[in-house]
A = this chain, B = another copy of it.
Amino acid sequence: MIKVYGMSLSGNCHKVRMVLEALHQPYSWTEIDPAKGETRTPEFLARNPNGKVPVVELEPGVYLAESNAIICYLAEGSPLMPADRLLRARVLAWLFFEQYSHEPYIAVARYLCLFHPDPPSQRALLESKMPGGYRALEVMEKTLADEPFLVDGRYTIADIGLYAYTHVASDGGFDLSRFTAIRDWLARVAAQPGYVAMVGP
């Protein structure tokens, strides 16, 4: 059985849970709190030398890190990952977009508001995250205005990867009210079989 080491309120970790639940794959979940230094212990660094959650243990002693690599692995051969070469690349393009052009703004803003020990001290940094976050949302809105899902008109791990932090973007101060296509898509994702909501530990 797959073991997940993750933080339930982290979008990166929640992606892994969403895929496992959608695929009805049995798993165990070990809650890890980075704020308590639990990702910097020698034991954790042996699982992921980069010291970040999530990490999965696929079989005893076989670890895999990086949320989007994990969900690619888990979804292989399922309807959540296309078989076609170009469609697979389009899924990957959205997942790389997520890690470079979306997460560093939208997830970091949420982190500063929800998890930073002194959020008011972070106001300038938080403000600096807004334009990039709205740019990422505009790119998504443009695609979703014409398509029900991000790739090939069907639900894939591209949607799960982008959903994870978009559906909690308001935690970081992003206003989704003008992004009607994104809001409709969020509702479509939440209506998928096996959908699981983000909940605390």
Q: Which residues of A contact B (CB under 8 A)?
A: 49-50, 52, 58, 62, 64-70, 72-73, 76, 85-86, 88-90, 92-93, 95-97, 99-101, 103-104, 135, 139, 142-143
Question: Smallest CB–CB gap between A31 and chain B, Å?
Answer: 22
- B70, B76, B92, B143: the one within 8 Å of A72 (CB): B92
Closest chain B residue to A56 by CB distance?
Answer: B89
New contact pairs (19) apart from A64-B93, A73-B92, A95-B96, CB-CB < 8 Å = A49-B139, A49-B142, A50-B97, A50-B101, A50-B139, A52-B101, A58-B86, A64-B86, A64-B89, A65-B93, A66-B96, A66-B97, A66-B100, A69-B92, A69-B95, A69-B96, A73-B86, A76-B85, A100-B103
User: Do most interface residues of chain A lie in helix, strand or loop, or is the interface mixed?
Assistant: helix
Copies in the complex: 2
Task: Give complex CA distance A49, B135 in Å.
Answer: 10
CB of B143 within 8 A of CB of A49, answer yes
- Determine the chain B residues whose CB is within 8 A of the CB of A92 once the complex forms: 66, 68-69, 72-73, 92
Q: A50-B139, A100-B99, A100-B100 are in contact. Are A93 and B69 (CB under 8 A)?
A: yes
- B66, B68, B85: the one within 8 Å of A73 (CB): B85
- Determine the chain B residues whose CB is within 8 A of the CB of A70 once the complex forms: 89, 93
- Determine the chain B residues whose CB is within 8 A of the CB of A76 once the complex forms: 85
